[in-house]
A and B are shown apart, each in its own frame.
Chain A
Amino acid sequence: MPPFATDADREAVHRREFADHTILMPPNRLKQRAARYVDLNGHEDADPVRRAENALKLLSNEFDNWMEMEIGALEAARATAVGANDIAELSTLYRVSHDIRGQAATLGFPLAGQLADGLCKLIERADKAVPSAKLIDLHVDAIRAMVRENVRDRENPIGAALVHRLKELRGEEPA
């Protein structure tokens, strides 16, 4: 049964009142229900983290296709941003870039993730004025190139140089 499904559950919360706050300690039903002692010498189940990593490895067959889809969404978002006069008009581009910065490394393209992070920062730090279209294009083109050229190594010299140069152009590194 899920926790706090009844009034009785609610009444089980231990309360301590102080001058400007209350401390509440709900009963830990999750621990009661789901925690268990295991004997690692007794052929217990495999490490759950390793099992999850293996499951992710199996799923990774789909990652290239997913990354292509994200790049397609990025291109479409760039098209919506052409000629934008207001930062609000970049919201789609920001949302797609934000997705890529969060998952590109998991999908095998860490430098594309760093570039997308840079594009997000460019938009986040713009104060009402729309960032230059050229700088936006440079970021989108660089992300697309990383995927097209299959740059998966974080230490790839050309990829790393591109990341660094775009940082300079955003004013985050001295040129």
Chain B
Amino acid sequence: MIRVDFTKLRLLVVDDNAHMRRIVRTLLHGYGAREVYEAEDGAAGLDLFTSLLPDIVITDWAMPILDGIELTEMIRRPESAANPYVPIVMLTAHSERSQVIKARDAGVTEFLCKPISAKALHQRILNCVLNPRPFVKTKDYFGPDRRRAPGGAYEGPDRRQNGDDNLIAHKSDRMREIANS
């Protein structure tokens, strides 16, 4: 079977609550990670992101100065000198559908509701490493493909017209499994 070697990953945890940062750090070290960096708000997170170029960002939503959505939007700038494709896991106590959609539309890669579990966080990181989605750039969106299945759920005003369903179809069965897990 395939495993992810966490010793090869550099992770950035952005959360304004010190207890939650410690919990996430503990889980990441438990998976085997050695390089775990922390920031206590979105602005500090953005600063560390540009200087450390982490492989994966795990961010809270509600934070002072710059929240997790704004941080995601700052990172997802196609011409950014840093890595605009970095996987972003949003770890939040927000759980309403409208909020999940807002996070998705900001360019979040994976969404994880608190309370956190070791299994769920591990699964989200595995998705980021082993099954990344293609990125889509439209006139006003840049981020992971929001369709997780052919003819997928995204029905917003910016739904792209046609032409690439086959391109992403090979990922769809796997993504459906993940979405339902």
Contact = CB atoms under 8 A, between A and B. Distances in A.
B20 A24 contact: no
Contacts of A175: none
B161 to A, nearest CB: 6
A158 interface: no
A30 B122 contact: no
B160 to A, nearest CB: 4
B30 A48 contact: yes
Which range contains the number of A residues in contact with the other chain? 35 or more
Interface string B148-181: 0000000000001101100110000000000000
A8 interface: no
Contact of B119 (A34, A49, A106, A107): A49
A70 interface: yes
A51 B85 contact: no
Contacts of B130: 31, 35
A148 interface: no
A24 B136 contact: yes
A35 B2 contact: yes
A113 interface: yes
Given A3-B83, A30-B55, A34-B4, A21 B138 contact: yes
Interface in B119-161: 119, 121-122, 128-130, 132, 134-139, 145, 160-161
Interface residues of B, number: 60
Interface in A1-52: 2-5, 13, 16, 18-26, 28, 30-31, 33-38, 40, 44-45, 48-49, 51-52
A56 B26 contact: yes
Contacts, number: 169
Interface of B: 1-6, 8-10, 17, 19-20, 22-23, 26-32, 52-56, 62, 64, 82-87, 92-93, 114-116, 118-119, 121-122, 128-130, 132, 134-139, 145, 160-161, 163-164, 167-168
Interface of A: 2-5, 13, 16, 18-26, 28, 30-31, 33-38, 40, 44-45, 48-49, 51-56, 59, 66, 69-70, 95, 98-99, 101-107, 110, 113, 117, 120
26 contacts: A3-B55, A3-B86, A4-B84, A19-B163, A23-B167, A24-B137, A26-B135, A31-B129, A31-B130, A33-B8, A36-B3, A36-B5, A38-B2, A38-B3, A49-B118, A51-B31, A52-B29, A55-B29, A59-B22, A70-B19, A102-B92, A102-B114, A103-B17, A103-B115, A103-B116, A117-B93
Given A25-B134, A99-B17, 15 more contacts: A3-B86, A20-B139, A23-B167, A24-B137, A26-B85, A31-B130, A36-B3, A38-B3, A40-B1, A48-B30, A53-B118, A54-B30, A98-B93, A110-B115, A120-B93
